[in-house]
């Protein structure tokens, strides 16, 4: 079922303006976050879809993220960092939901990227390896999965990634390096297991057993 979350999100944002205010200007915050919504709603929604693997839930979480952005407007230190700040809020919303439901599943990416020089990880993610990729992503740690999605699919810079994950630039780079290696190993393992299953299917050998004459 198609979800038109745009109007709902803006409506919720306007309703939120009637709530408790901090020291920041309510009108200024509303205009600023509505501008962010117009610019970044699509990519934030796409990130949340990949995180929770549920379009309707992602629409709700996207709305929550923009409402939280409005209510936490005073935490934005520099307007030029707004995109990373918004991803940080969406990331926390997604992790809260995943931990609450105890699900850690991601949608494989099948769209186009805009990087001038795609990395090996991005090329893998964009290949027609949906089942392999989904299985491999589920095998690597949660923070590593998030780092790969944010850096490889959503084009966050090293500094933006560090901001979203709440770590130093050096720590973010180290995490991404570990994530890439984990993905390589997980993909290799998944492919080896699939090759073994296919070989057993062809020879008629039961999994975990020996062929009987």
CATH number at residue 157: 1.10.10.10
- 21 and 96 in a single domain? The answer is yes
- 4 and 98 in a single domain? The answer is yes
Residue 15: closest CA among 63, 60, 62: 63
Asked if residue 19 belongs to a domain, the reply is yes
Beta strand ranges found along the chain (DSSP E): none
pLDDT value at residue 10:
53
Domain boundary among 55, 73, 105: 105
- 100 and 131 in a single domain? The answer is no
Where is pLDDT greater, at 202 or 127?
Answer: 202
For 100-112, what is each residue's pLDDT tens digit? 766 444 544 444 4
Q: How many CB atoms lie within 10 A of CB 50?
A: 21
Contact assessment for residue 43 and residue 154, using Cβ atoms and an 8 Å cutoff: yes
For 35-45, what is each residue's pLDDT tens digit? 999 999 998 99
Where is pLDDT greater, at 34 or 117?
Answer: 34
- 163 and 124 in a single domain? The answer is yes
For 119-149, what is each residue's pLDDT tens digit? 545 544 444 335 777 778 778 887 888 888 8
Asked if residue 168 belongs to a domain, the reply is yes
DSSP category for residue 149: I
pLDDT value at residue 130:
57
- Containing domain of residue 127, as a range? 117-203
pLDDT value at residue 124:
46
pTM (2 d.p.): 0.61
Question: How many independent structural domains does the chain possess?
Answer: 2
- 99 and 124 in a single domain? The answer is no
Asked if residue 7 belongs to a domain, the reply is yes
pLDDT value at residue 87:
93
- 152 and 198 in a single domain? The answer is yes
pLDDT value at residue 14:
52
- Tokens representing 149? 């999605």
Length of the chain: 213
Asked if residue 41 belongs to a domain, the reply is yes
pLDDT value at residue 16:
53
Asked if residue 212 belongs to a domain, the reply is no
- Tokens representing 18? 């009637």
For 56-99, what is each residue's pLDDT tens digit? 888 999 999 999 999 999 889 888 889 999 999 999 998 888 77
Asked if residue 151 belongs to a domain, the reply is yes
Mean pLDDT of 183-210: 82
H helices of 75-166, where?
Answer: 82-101, 120-126, 130-139, 142-148, 158-165
DSSP category for residue 152: I
- 76 and 136 in a single domain? The answer is no
């Amino acid at each position: 079922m198609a979800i038109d979350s745009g109007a709902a999100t803006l409506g919720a944002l306007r309703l939120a303006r009637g709530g408790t205010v901090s020291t920041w200007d309510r009108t200024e915050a509303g205009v600023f976050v509505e501008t962010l919504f117009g610019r970044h709603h699509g990519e934030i929604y796409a990130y949340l879809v990949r995180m929770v693997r549920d379009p309707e839930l992602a629409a709700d979480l996207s709305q929550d993220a923009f409402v939280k952005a409005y209510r936490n407007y005073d935490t934005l230190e520099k307007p030029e960092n707004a995109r990373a700040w918004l991803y940080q809020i969406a990331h926390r919303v997604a992790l809260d939901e995943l931990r609450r439901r105890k699900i850690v599943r991601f949608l494989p990416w099948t769209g186009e990227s805009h990087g001038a020089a795609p990395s090996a990880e991005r090329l893998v993610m964009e290949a027609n390896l949906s089942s392999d990729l989904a299985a491999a992503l589920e095998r690597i740690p949660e923070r590593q999965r998030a780092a790969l999605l944010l850096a490889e699919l959503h084009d966050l810079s090293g500094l933006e990634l560090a901001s979203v994950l709440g770590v130093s630039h050096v720590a973010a780079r180290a995490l991404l390096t570990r994530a890439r290696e984990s993905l390589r190993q997980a993909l290799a393992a998944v492919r080896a297991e699939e090759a073994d299953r296919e070989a057993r299917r062809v020879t008629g050998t039961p999994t975990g057993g020996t062929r009987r004459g």
